[in-house]
């Protein structure tokens, strides 16, 4: 039955979005496919939350697009299958997304998480997984969409920025927001120092967003 009241796990997440919780809400772990391009600290936050039973999920497959991406090493450490789909091997964004969809379907993925995926996705992916694709972005959306969001925040002179976990729609960084966390901008911040503090919050926000998204998918919670 659908309820406008979040289940305990999600309620805890909403009231204290940065506090880890126990993964008691869902008997069947949600099957995740993670897309990542770089270091993979968000991928590791998801894998750790699962290992520590803070999140009822399984990462069925990691897809990465850059042969040098450190995220591939992290996936080995967690024994998670990893598939390299190098975007340079595809003539179009749609071609890459078709290959992504094939891999995700072959692993019966229920929820797709863009955890530092630096490619614009197309309706080929979004139509195959309607309302099933999440993204984490290093700003308080709708501010500072697109690339170099941390640099954009510093250049704009804002005193507070942060991160946003949201559903993905065709327009970049524009889908419904699930979780946000604020981070102060310090006077002596560089893009690297600020990004490092934002990432601490991302690692919590992405786990909470997966829990909330799962509650929505399972029909036990609808956002009011």
- Which one of the listed residues 54, 137, 166, 195 is annotated catalytic? 137
Q: How many residues of this chain interact with ligand GAR, rule: CB under 6 A?
A: 14
43 and 112 Cβ atoms separated by less than 8 Å? no
203 is catalytic: no
C-alpha span between 43 and 47 (Å, rounded): 6
Tell me if 36 contacts ligand GAR by CB under 6 A: yes
119 and 37 Cβ atoms separated by less than 8 Å? yes
> Which residue is closest to ligand GAR by CB?
116
CA distances for 109 relative to 33, 63, 77, 80, 122, angstroms: 6, 12, 21, 14, 18
Spatial strand order in the sheet of 82-84: 82-84, 57-64, 30-36, 111-114, 133-137, 160-167, 177-184
Tell me if 161 contacts ligand GAR by CB under 6 A: no
Tell me if 168 contacts ligand GAR by CB under 6 A: no
Three-state secondary-structure class, residue 217:
helix
Q: Which DSSP symbol is given to 157? A: T
Tell me if 13 contacts ligand GAR by CB under 6 A: no
Q: Is the dihedral of CA 62, 52, 202, 7 positive or negative?
A: positive
Tell me if 199 contacts ligand GAR by CB under 6 A: yes
Per-residue mark of binding to ligand GAR, 108-147 (x: CB under 6 A): -------xx-------------------xxx---------
Give least dist CB 26 to ligand GAR, A. 24
Give least dist CB 44 to ligand GAR, A. 8
Nearer Cβ to ligand GAR, position 7 or 138?
A: 138
Any residues with CB less than 8 A from the CB of 146 and at least 6 apart, and which?
152, 172, 173
25, 60, 97, 202: which one binds ligand GAR (CB under 6 A): 202
**Under the rule (CB under 6 A), what is the footprint of ligand GAR?**
36, 38-42, 115-116, 136-138, 149, 199, 202
Catalytic residues: 137
């Amino acid at each position: 039955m659908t309820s406008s009241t979040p289940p305990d796990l999600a309620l805890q997440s909403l009231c204290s979005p940065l506090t880890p919780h126990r993964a008691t809400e869902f008997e069947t772990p949600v099957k995740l496919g993670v897309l990542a391009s770089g270091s993979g600290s968000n991928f590791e936050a998801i894998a750790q939350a699962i290992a520590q039973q803070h999140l009822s999920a399984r990462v069925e497959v990691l897809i990465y697009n850059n042969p040098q991406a450190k995220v591939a090493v992290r996936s080995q450490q967690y024994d998670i299958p990893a598939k390299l789909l190098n975007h340079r091997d595809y003539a179009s964004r749609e071609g890459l997304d078709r290959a992504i969809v094939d891999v995700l379907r072959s692993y019966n993925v229920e929820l797709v998480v863009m955890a530092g995926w630096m490619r614009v996705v197309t309706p080929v992916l979004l139509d195959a997984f309607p309302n099933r694709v999440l993204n984490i972005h290093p700003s308080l959306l709708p501010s500072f969409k697109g690339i170099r969001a941390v640099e954009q925040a510093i250049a704009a002179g804002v005193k507070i920025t942060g991160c946003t976990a949201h559903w993905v729609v065709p327009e970049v960084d524009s889908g419904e927001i699930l979780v946000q966390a604020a981070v102060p901008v310090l006077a002596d911040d560089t893009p690297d120092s600020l990004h490092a503090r934002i990432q601490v919050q991302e690692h919590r926000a992405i786990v909470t967003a997966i829990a909330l998204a799962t509650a929505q998918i399972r029909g036990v919670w609808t956002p009011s």
